[in-house]
Structure 1
């Protein structure tokens, strides 16, 4: 039996997150938190649960502190990645989170408009759930009292870059599976 060369899949290119298509940057949040009774809401790692942002009790930072951290001031569509504790768990910031900030225990992955239009944000959110990604994140983390992933290690996360038709088909199937799972 002969095999046409077109039948053999070629491996997808793999790039580090910092060079991934559509990534503007990845930054961590406010390191020295000065909590306030009012001000700018701040999301913590404990509030990233099962792919969503679930704020039970608001934590605020003074507006002047938040202004000094513009790279972690949220925009709708930013991907929030847990760096401390449940390393690699991720959620997407919604419209309601725009203008909020995040704690040091989270990274904010900011996307270019082209990256979001091509759904690279969804691809990365899915990739973070894979065993390959989780293995890399675990091996790259320090295991002190709480597992901690340095931002530099997140930026070096290897991410496959499938061709657009393959990516679109996979994301469609993943989206369908996630919707079915949510119904159960």
Structure 2
């Protein structure tokens, strides 16, 4: 069990969402940063960050998706249960428009969870997401892997606040330290990570198939006893 290293009253005064900033996980993440031989930069130096707006009065009769935090996961972006904007509404909300290659980051629910917007079709974000328009110094897929990693999530949690549920502010997001290898090394990391994720998917499918076969086996054994 992890132990806090400061008095509880101090935690309350600082408005921390939880004790994560003072736990072994954030200590481990900071250690990784200190040991890294790559440059450490603040996320805000790698592009521009735009938070979505609170949008009221949507009639949901359009065709352009309004992406929310519930549509973002470590597996990517899904368009389940989204509301839709008309082209006119989309045009008015220019700053919240999403473009191919942008990184979307959840600010609530699971703060810091990110995904690359890979579609070339128009979309917008609501107030619970941020868009990262990145420079050519960082690969979007690499940044997503970093933010969704144990190190990235520990750092995000250390910056999250909120009295009811964890929340990440734009200021905190921009101040997030990012390990920044060269662009070629970033791309190599992405390729290797994707290979491992694909292999994990195959192993998971094989495990499901074996469990199904085991259930069938037990069924046959029971049939023999009848």
Tell me the TM-score normalised to structure 1 length.
Answer: 0.80
Superposed, which structure 2 residues align to 1:86-97 within 5 Å? 86-95=110-119
2:134 equivalent to 1:111: yes
Change (3 A) 1:13 1:100: same
* Deviating 4+ runs (over 4 angstroms): 62-65
Structure 1 residues 172 and 38, CA gap change in structure 2 (3 angstroms): same
- Structure 1, unmatched stretches of 5+, are 1-8
Unmatched 5+ stretches in structure 2: 1-34, 205-226
What is the 5 A alignment of 1:172-183?
172-183=191-202
Structure 1 position 132 matched with structure 2 position 155:
no
Once residues 107 and 82 of structure 2 are traced to their aligned partners in structure 1, the CA distance between those partners, rounded to angstroms, is: 20
CA distance in 2, matches of 1:45, 1:60: 15
Of residues 144, 151, 162, the one that matches 2:163 is 144
Contact map agreement 2:109 2:165 (CA 8 A) in 1: yes
Residues 17 and 144 of structure 1, relative CA distance in 2, 3 Å threshold: same
Secondary structure class of the residue paired with 2:105: strand
Q: Which one has the bigger strand percentage? A: 1
> Contact conserved, 1:16 with 1:155, CA < 8 A, in 2?
yes
Q: Which has the higher contact order (CA 8 A, sep 6+)?
A: 1
TM-score, structure 2 length as denominator? 0.66
Q: Considering only CA atoms, is the larger Rg found in Structure 1 or Structure 2? A: 2
Match of 2:49 in 1: 26
Distance 1:165 1:110, change over 3 A: closer
Q: In structure 2, do the counterparts of structure 1 residues 50 and 132 end up closer, same or farther at CA, with 3 Å as the change threshold?
A: closer
Report the aligned-residue RMSD.
Answer: 2.2
Q: 1:163 aligns with which of 172, 178, 182?
A: 182
Deviation at 1:165, TM superposition (A): 4.7
Aligned length: 168
Task: Check conservation: 1:14, 1:160, Cα contact below 8 A.
Answer: yes
Question: In the superposition, relative to structure 1, how do residues 35 and 179 fare at CA in structure 2: closer, same or farther (>3 Å)?
Answer: same
C-alpha deviations, 1:59-83, integer Å up to 9, x for none?
0245444334323201111111110
Instruction: Tell me, yes or no, if structure 1 residue 12 matches structure 2 residue 35.
Output: no
* Cα distance change, pair 53–165 in 1 and its aligned pair in 2 (3 A): closer
